[in-house]
Structure 1
Amino acid sequence: MKKYIFLSLSFLLFISCNYKEEETFTQRASERTVNSLNSYKEILENDNYWLLTYYPEQYKVGYWVYPYQPEIFATDKDFPKAHRSIGGYNFLIKLKDGKVAASSEVSYTNTEETSFFSYDITEGPTLSFDTFNNVLHHFRFVSSSFPNARGGETDFIILKYENDTFTLRGRTSNNIMTLKKFTGNRETFLNKIRENSKALLYKGLLPINVGGTEVILKLFPSYRQLTFIYNNNQKYIQSAFIITEKGIKLYEPIKINGVTFEEFYFNDTKTALVSADGSITSNFVTSPITLSSNAAYITFDTYNASEKAMNIFNKAKKAVENSKDKSYTLLNYIRLVTFMGNDQEQAAGIHGYIAEKNNLDNTSSIYYEMDFVGMANSSNEKQLEILIKDMPTIGDNTYKNSLFYYREAERLFLDLAKAGPYKTSVYNDNYTYLISVKDPDIWFLVYIP
């Protein structure tokens, strides 16, 4: 009996030895990470520029949903949101001896700004721009308009390096970005990106056919979003994109009916976007109204606006006059003009004006950047959409922090956008009607000098 027990125990010990795995690595994980970081440092600090494709994180309701497609969803609580909802941007950086020189398309000039950077080990090898830099921290600025900034990153975890490109992950946002070796002329590149960005302004897109399915394309030019809507408006994919030297590149590939979209190029005349393989083309639809530094105006009175348009204005005016100390009113005009934007040298803006009831000359303005976007339609009418940037949602922190009368005034902007899209009708050389496609009884004149 003892003999059998001895044999059984020996057999178990043999089995146990077979199940023991040899160590895969000769170094501990922390040592491997340090070694990776050291090798990355040698590559990064080799006197050349790196192109950083940068995606700040903003999670917002799809711009195409509200007010343009509300019929798809039962309530506004069902409206889908999208990550990276203010698009992607190009930065050029040079790293050496703890200093980074940075320039970007979001700056008004190509001037580089220098600050310090560091290497760290967090969830992996990490590149950290941890001292203030006007360029690199563009989306980290906190202001009255952006009390929570706009989703900028300072720490980038290095995931891998291959084909002269580092793949990065924003430590806060988890957005995937790239740092690619740059070999061209820095200023020429930035100027080209700005030129291509301007080429998209005021542009909408015609629908495309993908494998027998009509796909509606919704473009938000200045916040760099492209949405694909198909299957009778029941399917939709919104993607951020970045401007390239050839056109635009989506944050990640999109597949519809077996066709993959990742990049679109401008055609030779910059009148269309063409898929990378050249098989699909979408022509631009230009807004019938474009703005300049010479301001255009919308006036709310019986001569320049319909009764329903006046009702929209009066609702906002009443709300301003009833807010808090009841000493302010909303003036009856809106100013449309270009000015220096948050992310580009020239942006379109919509301005409203608040005044003291007892002193109408004492005014303050509320304004937002916006896009007029050409609207494709089956009637071949000249139509446009109004897309307002950074409009706060009722209840969020930006809205709560607004001056009380501004909260009500900005509702006027949103209600006008909700009434869109608009078809245009030229009255004379200086006046153009904007008539709601949804409700033709909502109309107003735009004075264009």
Structure 2
Amino acid sequence: MKKIYYMLFLLLTGVCFNACVSEEEDLFDKSAAERMNEAIANYKAILQDAPNGWVMEFYPSDRSMGGYVYTAKFDNGKVDMASEVSLSSNSGESWPAGTVVSSQYRVISEQSVILTFDTYNLLFHFFSEPKGSSDTDGYASDYEFIFMESSADRLVLRGKKYGNTLVMTKLTESADSYIQKILDMQEKMDAVPRMKMIVSGKEYMVNMAGKLLSYTETKEDSSVENVEMSFIYTPDGINLYEPLTIDGVTFQRFVYDDATGVVKAVDADVTFPYPTALEQFCGTTTRWYFSFDINTVKGEMNQELMDIFKNSYDANLEIMNEHFVGWYLGANPGYPARDSNPHCMGWESNWLGIVDFQLCYSYNLSVIDEATKKVEIKSIAPGGNYEYYEYLDPVVEYVDKYSPYIVTFDDERLPKTAKMVSTVDDSVWFSVSKQ
């Protein structure tokens, strides 16, 4: 009996096998090579069938630098690329945003169909080219991408080595026009940085420096999680790299309201409200300069602070043969490539009237009390080039010693001047102005 059962099993298995083989022959009436060649031809045609080219939303490295907009027009192996990125060389050459740089591309097959930008393009390979003999990966970014999804107007690709998603959308206007809209939106939002995010009525303090949204979330078990999400500017707002969910609310795309300055999520109850003057100062993406006159040893500050700075000025002249021509609070020139802190106290030091050197000490600018306009200004760590100018330590220590400060602004909506008066000793004060 067992033998009969076994024979029946073999017979049924054979029938199923023959059916599967027949089905497979019906499904794959072309060889793998033929199907791959057809896919390559299809992607080549899609890339070239775009009179104005494509928008590419590119995220370099580990996404800690945010996202960058590129445009690309493909034509038989040649690609004309432009970007919101502005570059310059030590020799004085410059490539402002919107500059078109041409190079080569290919659509090739490996295990999948790949778009490769395999000849050098200054704009695009800036993030992947080596920065020196000991830095072979640069910013560790992709220049080869695997096709994941496709339609006539939208392509989704994934970086071959580092895995970041690259979204390409067909342009319906000129590349110049699109990039200018990106620059305009970035200027609007950078001028008035957001520090609060409201999700269904619940408020979160956020930082949006360097195309990186970061905030702290308290979980149900009382644990604290620091969340970071990169984003990219669009003509009408920003897009997060991927959907973010907070308190059950999921969102990704935001639009900017020109009338109110509010940034609101599409299809979700999430907003970045227009910031107060104090929030604009503490989240600044620009520089607020101290005013001083070395010849008279006077400045927009109390005399003791001016005298301390004058001592540092004299030391700089004696040791480095340089003059301090600028002193500011605000955007860190080394962030994010060389310094993890977006804000600093910085100085511009001029050598022989020829070149200005940037140096800084990383600072934290934080709101203590909105009602009284109290702000903390505290040093964190030496920043770029500071090691050569440590005679500025007394200045850093003095500003730290008398923090926190009460701030008075010249304009509550778009402040350009801020006067700080110490809460420790109200005879200690200084003013800074946005330039």
Q: 1:351 to 1:31 in 2, by over 3 A?
A: farther
Select 2:125's aligned residue among 137, 161, 165: 137
1:121: how far off? 2.2
Q: 1:432 and 1:256 mapped to 2: Cα distance?
A: 35
Q: CA deviation at 1:32?
A: 3.2
Aligned to 1:70: none
Q: Give 1:124's match in structure 2, choosing from 112, 134, 144.
A: 112
Q: Does 1:259 align with 2:249?
A: yes
For residues 227 and 98 of structure 1, the distance between their equivalents in structure 2, rounded to whole angstroms, comes to 40
- Contact 2:50–2:170 (Cα < 8 Å) also in 1: no
Measured after TM superposition, the shift of residue 196 of structure 1 is 0.5
Q: Which has the higher contact order (CA 8 A, sep 6+)?
A: 1
The structural deviation recorded for 1:368 is 7.0
Counterpart of 2:216 in structure 1 is 229
1:370 CA displacement = 9.7
Pairs within 5 Å for 1:75-224: 83-107=62-86, 108-140=96-128, 142-143=130-131, 149-162=138-151, 164-205=153-194, 207-211=196-200, 213-220=202-209, 223-224=210-211
Q: 1:276 aligns with which of 252, 266, 290?
A: 266
What's the RMSD between the two structures over aligned residues?
A: 5.5
Within 5 A, what are the aligned runs for 1:298-377?
Answer: 335-336=327-328, 351-352=346-347, 365-367=357-359
Stretch of structure 1 that moved more, 24-33 or 371-380: 371-380
Shift of 1:192: 1.1
- Counterpart of 2:14? 17
Deviation (angstroms), 1:217 = 2.8
Residues 291/152 of structure 1: CA separation in 2 closer, same or farther (3 Å cut)? closer
Q: Report the CA distance shift for 1:369/1:132 in structure 2 as closer, same or farther (over 3 A).
A: farther
- Tell me, yes or no, if the aligned pair for 1:373 and 1:387 is still in contact at 8 Å: no
Residue 424 (1) aligns with residue 428 (2): no
How far apart in 2 are the matches of 1:200 and 1:246? 11
- Equivalent residues of 1:334, 1:353 under 8 A apart: yes
Q: TM-score, normalised by structure 2?
A: 0.68
Query: Could you report, residue by residue, the CA deviation over 1:134-180 in whole angstroms, capped at 9, with x for unpaired residues?
Result: 22223235557x95533432111111203621101112220111111
- Mapped contact 1:204–1:376 kept (Cα < 8 A): no
Q: CA deviation at 1:375?
A: 5.4
The 3 A distance-change label for structure 1 pair 247 and 440 is: farther
Structure 2 portions without partners, runs of 5+:
87-95, 336-341, 411-415
Task: Confirm whether residue 37 of structure 1 aligns to residue 27 of structure 2.
Answer: no
Whether the 8 Å CA contact 2:419–2:432 is kept in 1: the answer is: no
Count of matched residue positions in the alignment of Structure 1 and Structure 2? 390
Change (3 A) 1:86 1:138: same
**Matched ranges for 1:283-298 at <5 A:** 283-285=273-275, 286=277, 287-288=280-281, 296=290
8 Å CA contact 2:199–2:269 kept in 1: the answer is: no
**CA offsets 1:184-229 (integer angstroms, 9 cap, x no match):** 1322211111011001114333534434533223221xx2112243
Find the aligned partners of 1:268 and 1:171 in 2 and give their Cα distance.
Answer: 39
Kept after mapping to 2: 8 A contact 1:202/1:374 = no
Cα 1:415–1:104 shift into 2, 3 Å = farther
Distance 1:386 1:26 in 2: 70
Structure 1 residues 248 and 5, CA, compared in 2 at 3 Å: closer, same or farther?
closer
SS at match of 1:205: coil
Distance 1:126 1:291 in 2: 38
The separation in 2 between residues aligned to 1:215 and 1:143, in whole angstroms, is: 38
- Of stretches 284-293 and 135-144 in structure 1, the one that deviates more from structure 2 is 284-293
**Structure 1 residues 373 and 140: alpha-carbon distance in aligned structure 2, compared to 1, 3 A threshold:** farther
Partners of 2:177 and 2:361 in 1: CA distance: 27
Amino acid in the other structure paired with 1:424:
V
Q: Deviations over 1:33-74 (max 9, x none)?
A: 3321221111111252111111112xxxxxxxxxxxxxxxxx
Instruction: Compare 407-416 and 14-23 and name the one that shifted more.
Output: 407-416
Choose 22-31 or 107-116, whichever is displaced more: 22-31
Identity of aligned residues (%): 21
Structure 1 regions of 5+ residues with no counterpart?
A: 58-82, 321-326, 394-401
Report the residue type matching 1:244 in the other structure. Answer: T
Task: Tell me, yes or no, if the aligned pair for 1:385 and 1:417 is still in contact at 8 Å.
Answer: yes
CA shift for structure 1 position 237? 2.7
Residues 349 and 29 from structure 1, CA distance in 2 versus in 1: closer, same or farther, beyond 3 angstroms? Answer: farther
Cα distance 1:142–1:212, how it changes in 2: closer, same or farther (>3 A)? same
Q: Deviations over 1:99-142 (max 9, x none)?
A: 00111111424232211111222342111111112222232355
